[in-house]
Amino acid sequence: GQQVMQIPQYQHVQEGEDFTTYCNSSTTLSNIQWYKQRPGGHPVFLIQLVKSGEVKKQKRLTFQFGEAKKNSSLHITATQTTDVGTYFCAGMPWGKFQFGAGTQVVVTP
Amino acid sequence: GAVVSQHPSWVICKSGTSVKIECRSLDFQATTMFWYRQFPKQSLMLMATSNEGSKATYEQGVEKDKFLINHASLTLSTLTVTSAHPEDSSFYICSASLGTGGLNEQFFGPGTRLTVL
């Protein structure tokens, strides 16, 4: 079954607003990766988090790894139309690499 | 970043035929290659992991005899869907990694859309 879970499944955002998508694992993860897949495209690697409590920023994107290394979040500020796509987290619960179900982001102007 | 190509980008075939999909890392040697299947608006489902020169490791529920994977070199892996049926229609994506699976970023190919009539 799905051991890497993401919420929400869908996110409708007004351009300029902020939003956060969450990734939760049923067990401790050694690392977590985030990917973005544009409509009709393929996943593109965004970032990898390894340390407990780690926070990394990429311009308007902030990635966080929980203290217990069982959850992660992606926060996007001042959403733009270029942020449209599905954001996937991925990790290795119980040693098996697995993608989360993804958060599909739709941006309205 | 590293580039991964896939060929063909789309294929339509008749039920019962076999289809081969190629995945190539163009500017780096990939330690590991992965094959995924993705249904519309769904996540990527890992089918198998392959390392050059060794047998692929298939995920639970994936038929080895149905989805043949050959990893002939550090830059080429192939997935053959044997005796394809309509339920095999899907988007197949490969990825390549410089290290072991899950611990290094994966570079994805553009995917192959398979339609079985």
Q: Which of B43, B49, B109 sits opposite A88 (nearest CB)?
A: B43
Look at B46 and A44 and tell me if their CB atoms are within 8 Å. no
Q: Which of A48, A99, A100 sits opposite B105 (nearest CB)?
A: A48
* Confidence bin at A93 (pLDDT 50/70/90): confident
3-state helix, strand, coil in chain B (%, to 5): 5, 50, 45
Report the pLDDT averaged over residues B58-87: 94
Tell me how far apart the alpha carbons of residues B94 and B5 are, in angstroms, rounded to a whole number.
Answer: 9
Contacts of B42 in chain A (CB under 8 A): 101-102
Q: Does residue B93 surpass a pLDDT of 90?
A: yes
Tell me how far apart the alpha carbons of residues B11 and B98 are, in angstroms, rounded to a whole number.
Answer: 29
Contacts of B45 in chain A (CB under 8 A): 99
A28, A35, A45, A106: best mutation site toward chain B, by most B Cβ within 10 Å? A45
Look at A44 and B108 and tell me if their CB atoms are within 8 Å. yes
Which pairing describes strands B4-7 and B19-25: parallel, antiparallel, or unpaired?
A: antiparallel
* Confidence bin at B101 (pLDDT 50/70/90): low
Q: Does residue A68 surpass a pLDDT of 90?
A: yes
Please say whether the beta carbons of B108 and B43 come within 8 A: no
CA distance B115 to chain A (A): 16
Q: Does residue A95 surpass a pLDDT of 90?
A: no
Taking residue A12's Cβ as centre, other Cβ atoms within 10 Å add up to 12
What sign has the CA pseudo-torsion A1, B35, B70, A30?
negative
pLDDT at A2: 67
Tell me how far apart the alpha carbons of residues B104 and B33 are, in angstroms, rounded to a whole number.
Answer: 12
* Tokens representing residue B46 in the block: 């890992």
pLDDT at A1: 62
The overall average pLDDT reported for chain A is 94
Block residue for tokens 């005899």: B65
Q: Does residue A43 surpass a pLDDT of 90?
A: yes
